Amino acid sequence: MDFSFLMDLSGTQMAYLFVVVFLFVLAIIDLWVGVSNDAVNFIGSAVGARAAKLKHVMMVAAAGVFIGAAFSNGMMEVARSGIFNPSGFAFSEVMVIFLAVMVSDVFLLDLFNSLGLPTSTTVSMVFELLGAAFITAIIKVATSDSSMDVIGLLNTDKALVMIISIFLSVAIAFVFGLLVQWIARMIFTFHYKRNLGSKIGIFGGVAVTSIVYFMLIKGLKGTSIVSDSAKVFVEENTLMILAGCFVLFTVLMQLLHWCKVNVLKVVVLVGTFSLALAFAGNDLVNFIGVTLAGFDSFLVYMSSGVAADELMMTSLAEPAKTSTFFLFAAGLVMVVALWTSKKAKKVLQTSIGLSKQQNDGNEMFGTSGFARNLVRVTTKAVTAVSRKTPRSVKNWVNSRFTPLEEREDVAFDLVRASVNLVLGGLLIALGTSLKLPLSTTYVTFMVAMGSSLADRAWGRESAVYRVTGVVSVVGGWFITAGAAFVLAAIVAVVMYFGGLPAMFVMIALVCYLLYRSSVNYKKKSEEERGDENAKIMFASEDKDEVWSALKAHVADTLSRSLQFSVDTYARLFDSFAKDSLRPLRSSMVKIVEEKGVLKKNRSDETLAMQRVDRQFAYERGTWYHLCSNSSQQMLNTLMRIAEPMKEHTEHSFNPLPQEYVKEFAPYCNKVCAVLEDINGIITSGDYTGSHEVSLRAKELKHELSALRNRQTQRLHQSSASLRIDFVYLNLIQESHELLSEVRNLLRGSSKLFK
């Protein structure tokens, strides 16, 4: 290829060419990160219900993604002229807006994916465009002598409709998910395999016909390959097509059922394909719309011969005509990202974890005051309604919701998976027919939450965790909107006043932050990948192999607790001796975090204990719980040491006298040495020297008891302030307790691992 034309470009043109190239680089990254975030929308239901093997689900989704991207022109006008009126902005100004959007978008999506939280690419793009365009319009009006106003530069009506429709879809999707799933469960019950009969043909016909409607209305509306006449024919004969499809698919599904084919699996896989197709075809604008708008703007600029700050971008108001090459390339990138992204699996785990039917006690989210109050109020309201409901009606309804014996590898069944996919598709199709750009993330996630609530997956033991999770995720979306608006506005201001040099500085900053984010995520992934024992504990069917993995996992947990206790104990004494407040505060935060880690590990290990031989688990269970409780008490002891130290130092009371520092330092070293020796024994698995270490700990306890008695005598003899003496006495007493717990841990581990 001849690149000699580059020699004829001016410095400004060359600079903008570099910006456009970088926009394409960011678009590829955005595609990659965006698919990682949105993959859960179209494969979550199939994976959660085990409709097929993961690789088969991925193949179906990949086909839908590629075809959807290749055959659709998307809604590119949203990026070109949906938020602002391009005729009021010069080329240099729209390039500021587009680059600000792309820079902000990659940061936000990567951050949320790294946290494992679903977010909306639609929300990100809309609010970034709005933020960048809004601040640019304000600056333009403030620095211009003309009579233009901000409202005239922005498409406020269209933007407001888009924003309202996005957030209104949250409530609509949740309510309809709740109602439709409740009706479906009343018809089929959890024992659906014996209740299908002739109903499955009608259900399959309605479901697949709905999916066809979804594909025709939602998936093919923006295609640039299907002729306009074909689109008109489909639109004019929609009812006839749907009626024919309903009859055809009802008969076909009933025949498949009689041939012993699981019709619900067929519905789920077809729904996965259609939702993936619509996602790629209609959400593609979120990933490449801004880049292609910038590319088209650059082509107009190059052919115009007008200065960058004088060329008005009226051309962007014209309908988009996206090259098929870009659509195929985008589809290929999305397919590769879908197959290889580890972040996609993490986001998938979050969504399925909130929808799962099992209440295993291992919840992904904690609790919040709002969730606790909401669950309490709802429980009281349900109880009040239940009292007024006739007993016969309650018994009949409850009989329809009697669950099967739960399987560990299935988060929910095929009935709910079918409802999630079909209803999600119908709601998006309805929004499209009303020209409302609904977010596929919002709709699919909230339908899944509503259907899981209808299925009574949110029991008394898990409801508060599920509500907290939903509030956290939905709150994250709203935070995304605000952060996207503000971040894009800030970036746009910097680049507007800084010009091309500021753009290059922002590009360099983007490269650095992306590199740092990648390094941090790789480190985190390596830590997660390193815990192979946890995977074996739940994946293996060999009870001996499960026990071996469980022993190794417990040993790692105990070793982590011991090492943490050594480091924290020494840091607390050193910080208090130096009257240093910040390390004391950070230590308390780390203790709380370590309690959370220990709680999760204990939950995993308790569940794994149920997968080994029952008699063996009964014999070793007592010693396991002794070790686990000792680890918990060690952390509680450290917190009881830290709290009075932090409070004393915060109030700037008298520091620990040097006499006390010199007196206790040897004991601190001895305590740390005992903990380190026990850690070494557990790590190596060699308990030959455990008795000697236990005796050392016992002797050290006696020494601390003697020191405690001396300190008690000082308290009675001292006439000065007793605050520091009480803190010092507490340190001695809790050190004594720490040794008691670590001895229990050593004894329990020797019995557990023998």
Residues 477-491 have pLDDT tens digits of: 778 888 889 989 999
50 pLDDT band, cuts 50/70/90, is confident
Q: What percent of the chain has pLDDT over 70?
A: 84
CA 749 to chain centre: 36
Residue 540, Cβ density class (10 Å: 0-12 exposed, 13-18 middle, ≥19 buried): middle
* pLDDT, position 2: 47
* pLDDT, position 13: 87
CA separation for the pair 306, 298 (Å, rounded): 12
What is the C-alpha R_g of the chain?
31
For residue 687, pLDDT beyond 70: yes
Task: Give me the half-sphere count of Cα atoms (radius 13 Å) on the Cβ side of residue 522.
Answer: 6
* pLDDT, position 343: 60
Q: Euclidean distance between the first and final Cα of the chain, in Å? A: 71
* pLDDT, position 721: 63
For residue 161, pLDDT beyond 90: no
* pLDDT, position 701: 95
For residue 222, pLDDT beyond 60: no
List the structure tokens of 306.
Answer: 């007008």
More confident: 683 or 536 = 683
List the structure tokens of 259.
Answer: 């041939």
CA separation for the pair 621, 612 (Å, rounded): 11
CA separation for the pair 714, 659 (Å, rounded): 13
DSSP one-letter code for 320: P
1 pLDDT band, cuts 50/70/90, is very low
Dihedral of CA 266/270/273/276: which sign? negative
397 pLDDT band, cuts 50/70/90, is confident
More confident: 574 or 423 = 574
Q: What percent of the chain has pLDDT over 90?
A: 27
* pLDDT, position 399: 81
Single-letter amino acid code for the residue at 220: L
* pLDDT, position 116: 57
- Average pLDDT of the segment spanning 294-321: 86
For residue 55, pLDDT beyond 60: yes
* pLDDT, position 408: 45
- Average pLDDT of the segment spanning 29-33: 79
Q: Which residue is it, tokens 């309804």?
A: 397
Angstrom CA distances, 631 to 524, 565, 613, 700, stand at 24, 9, 25, 20
Residue 467, Cβ density class (10 Å: 0-12 exposed, 13-18 middle, ≥19 buried): buried
More confident: 626 or 284 = 626
For residue 579, pLDDT beyond 60: yes
73 pLDDT band, cuts 50/70/90, is low
**Ranges 120-134, 335-349, 642-656: which has the least confidence:** 335-349
For residue 394, pLDDT beyond 60: yes
Angstrom CA distances, 608 to 412, 454, 527, 612, stand at 21, 29, 20, 7
CA angle 315, 107, 500 (to 5 degrees): 50
Phi, psi torsion values for 84, nearest 5 degrees? -130, 160
CA separation for the pair 454, 473 (Å, rounded): 19
Q: Which residue is it, tokens 């269209």?
A: 158
- Average pLDDT of the segment spanning 314-337: 81
The 3 state secondary structure assigned to 509-536 is HHHHHHHHHHHHHHHHHHHHHHCHHHHH
CATH superfamily of 539-752: Phosphate transport system protein phou homolog 2; domain 2 (1.20.58.220)
User: In this structure, which long-range contacts are made by residues 731-736, counting pairs with CB atoms below 8 Å and at least 24 apart in sequence?
Assistant: 731/573, 731/576, 731/641, 731/645, 731/664, 732/664, 732/667, 732/704, 732/707, 732/708, 733/708, 734/637, 734/640, 734/641, 735/569, 735/641, 735/667, 735/668, 735/671, 735/704, 736/701, 736/704, 736/705, 736/708
Dihedral of CA 619/622/625/627: which sign? negative
* pLDDT, position 411: 55
* pLDDT, position 109: 67
For residue 196, pLDDT beyond 90: no
Q: Which residue is it, tokens 């309650």?
A: 394
Looking at mean pLDDT, say which of 65-74, 330-339, 691-700, 717-726 comes out highest.
Answer: 691-700
More confident: 584 or 330 = 584
* pLDDT, position 490: 92
* pLDDT, position 530: 47
Q: Exposure pattern of 658-673 as b/e (b: 16+ CB <10 Å)?
A: eebbeebeebbebbbe
Which positions ≥6 away from 564 have C-beta within 8 Å?
Answer: 590, 594, 635
Work out the mean pLDDT of the chain and round it to a whole number: 82
CA separation for the pair 82, 29 (Å, rounded): 23
With CA atoms as reference, report the closest residue to 205 among 258, 248, 261, 265: 248
**Ranges 25-34, 486-495, 576-585, 726-735: which has the least confidence:** 25-34
For residue 446, pLDDT beyond 70: yes
For residue 377, pLDDT beyond 90: no
642 pLDDT band, cuts 50/70/90, is very high
For residue 404, pLDDT beyond 90: no
Residue 88, Cβ density class (10 Å: 0-12 exposed, 13-18 middle, ≥19 buried): buried
CA separation for the pair 93, 499 (Å, rounded): 10
List the structure tokens of 208.
Answer: 């697949």
* pLDDT, position 33: 73
**Ranges 80-89, 183-192, 225-234: which has the least confidence:** 225-234
More confident: 620 or 728 = 728
Domain boundaries, given as residue ranges, for the chain: 4-404+422-528, 539-752
Which positions ≥6 away from 67 have C-beta within 8 Å?
Answer: 277, 280, 331
- Average pLDDT of the segment spanning 49-66: 80
For residue 364, pLDDT beyond 80: no
Phi, psi torsion values for 154, nearest 5 degrees? -115, 145
| Residue length of the chain | 754
Which positions ≥6 away from 380 have C-beta within 8 Å?
Answer: none
The pLDDT tens digits for 473-528 are 677 777 888 888 998 999 999 999 998 999 999 888 888 877 877 777 677 666 55
